[in-house]
Amino acid sequence: MKKSIILTLGLLTFIPVTLQAQMFSVGEAEDRQPLRIQSYSTIALGLEFADLEFTGGDVEAEDQAEFNGSILRLRIENPGLNISAGFGGKLTGIDDRSYVNISALLYNDFALTRSEKFILALPVQIGTDLKSVQVDRSNNNFQQSSFSLGTGLSMRYQVNRRVGAALRATPNIGFSFSQGNLFGGRLFRGLVSTRFYFNDVFGSSALVFGYDFDYRDYDIEGIQNDYSYQSHSVTLGLAF
């Protein structure tokens, strides 16, 4: 009987020690897992502060499509393909104008240097874009369809398992065509985007916060459709 009691007490003493050792082993195994760069698919809504300025001539002031105001922008971003749509008008603070922009960017990043936490790459991208500004009580509207090619630098950095960051900066050159015209002109476009990802905020989904800068210079045949455009956009959304 005494031997049974001693054996039982010994087992009860040994079990917690074993469980504790297993718990430490699992925790250490998790800590030893390598930290890797993560890729995200995101859907986000942004507020864009835009300025379209007329740089041509031979157009009365009331017929010019220039404006300064806010735009709502929906962004859907996947590795290799970004799509966005922007809308503006009276509801966003643009008086006597309606604004629509649909844009798509197809790209591939060629790594220049790579580690478990950091990638520096050379992006090669093709962009297509439709931008339309309708002026109330005027037939002289601004509508351009464009195609562009660009490259620059991109960077991704995994700060830790919960936080990641991405940065892209690309100059682009292309062609832009006015509605109803066979001939167009040159488009120069500069793009800068920054993203911060906060993992596991909503279950397995990440919270994404972003900033975008967009500059465009339209040099179209004639002088009626020469404009410069620049915008600053802040974005909030979910990443998967």
Residues 6 or more apart whose CB falls under 8 angstroms from that of 130 comprise 100, 101, 102, 103, 143, 144, 145, 146
Confidence of residue 157 (pLDDT cuts 50, 70, 90): very high
Which residue from 229, 227, 225 is spatially nearest to 215, judged by alpha carbons?
Answer: 229
Give the pLDDT score at 182.
65
DSSP H or E stretch at residue 18:
helix 2-32
DSSP bridge partners of 206: 239
The whole-angstrom separation of Cα 226 and Cα 198 is 41
pTM assigned to the model: 0.84
pLDDT of 197 over the 90 cut: yes
Give the pLDDT score at 199.
94
The domain limits of the chain are 1-33, 38-239
CA atoms within 13 A on the CB side of 78: 5
Confidence of residue 33 (pLDDT cuts 50, 70, 90): low
Q: What is the CATH number of domain 38-239?
A: 2.40.128.100
Tokens of 33: 């897992």
Tokens of 119: 């990638």
Contact 84, 76 (CB under 8 A): yes
pLDDT in tens, 123-156: 999 999 999 999 988 877 899 999 999 999 999 9
